[in-house]
């Protein structure tokens, strides 16, 4: 049996949703402090089968961490902020939402009550030991300015992690 490639997997599931367009976005902060806008971090987000652009019961993606390392080299000091938002209409979430995040070295599942807001789901990064870590945020964002707020918050996270 071949060994599975190291992958970051992130999914938002809900028991019931109004059908709206929604997407997960990634903002990349390099150790230099330069911030890349969503999904332009020299890797592609692979949306998994059964995860259409229309947000029905789940939205998910995966990132091939092996390919990321091949393209970008060591990722220690790089930080990735993940948010969910919808434009032009607000998200219409009901109760019972769950965020699942999984990568080599961590696995987490968090219950959320998001209502109709864009949200910074969390931040993931590679530790000095070479393991991946994820910290849930749940910070509510202004829907119309969600991208810029995510970039601002990613910068704050980067400053905090730089102090470690």
Q: What is the DSSP string of 44-95?
A: --EEPTT--SEESSEEEEEEEHHHHHHHH---BT-EEEEEEE-SSSPP-B-S
- pTM for this one? 0.78
Residue 2 forms part of a structural domain? no
Does residue 79 sit within a domain? yes
Among 36-40, 45-49, 100-104, 153-157, name the most confident range.
100-104
Domain count across the chain: 1
Handedness of CA 45, 48, 52, 56 (dihedral sign): negative
Q: Let me know if residue 148 belongs to a domain.
A: yes
d(CA 40, CA 36): 6
What is the pairing mode between strands 46-47 and 54-55?
A: unpaired
Q: What is the largest CA-CA distance in the chain?
A: 47
Q: 49 is in which domain, residue-wise?
A: 7-163
Q: What pLDDT score was predicted for residue 109?
A: 92
| In-domain check, residue 106 | yes
Q: Is residue 27 part of a domain?
A: yes
pLDDT in tens, 9-44: 888 877 655 555 667 788 888 888 788 876 655 555
The reply to whether 60 falls in a domain is yes
More confident residue, 98 or 161: 98
Q: Give me the phi and psi of 45, to 5 degrees please.
A: -80, 125
Residue 15 included in any domain: yes
**pLDDT, tens digit (0-9, with 9 covering 90-100), for 56-105:** 567 778 888 888 888 888 888 888 888 887 665 666 655 667 889 998 88
Decide if 1 is inside a domain: no
Residues linked to residue 8 through DSSP beta bridges, in sequence order: 63
As separate numbers, helices (DSSP H) first and strands (DSSP E) second, the chain gives: 2, 12
Residue 28 near residue 93, CB atoms below 8 Å: no
The per-residue pLDDT for range 108-133, each reduced to its tens digit, is: 998 877 666 778 888 998 888 888 88
């Amino acid at each position: 049996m071949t060994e599975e490639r190291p992958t970051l997997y992130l999914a938002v599931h809900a028991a019931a949703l109004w059908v709206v367009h929604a997407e997960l976005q990634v903002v990349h902060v390099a150790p230099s402090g330069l911030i890349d806008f969503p999904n332009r971090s020299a890797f592609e987000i692979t949306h998994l089968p059964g995860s259409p652009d229309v947000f029905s019961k789940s939205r998910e993606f995966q990132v091939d961490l092996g390919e990321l390392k091949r393209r970008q080299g060591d990722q220690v000091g790089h930080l990735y902020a993940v948010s969910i938002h919808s434009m032009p209409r607000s998200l219409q979430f009901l109760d019972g939402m769950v965020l699942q995040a999984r990568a080599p070295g961590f696995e987490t599942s968090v219950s959320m009550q998001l209502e109709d807001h864009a949200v910074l789901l969390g931040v993931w990064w590679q530790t000095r030991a070479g393991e991946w870590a994820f910290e849930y945020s749940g910070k509510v964002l202004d829907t119309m300015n969600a991208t810029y707020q995510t970039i601002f918050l990613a910068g704050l996270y980067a400053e905090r992690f730089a102090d470690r």
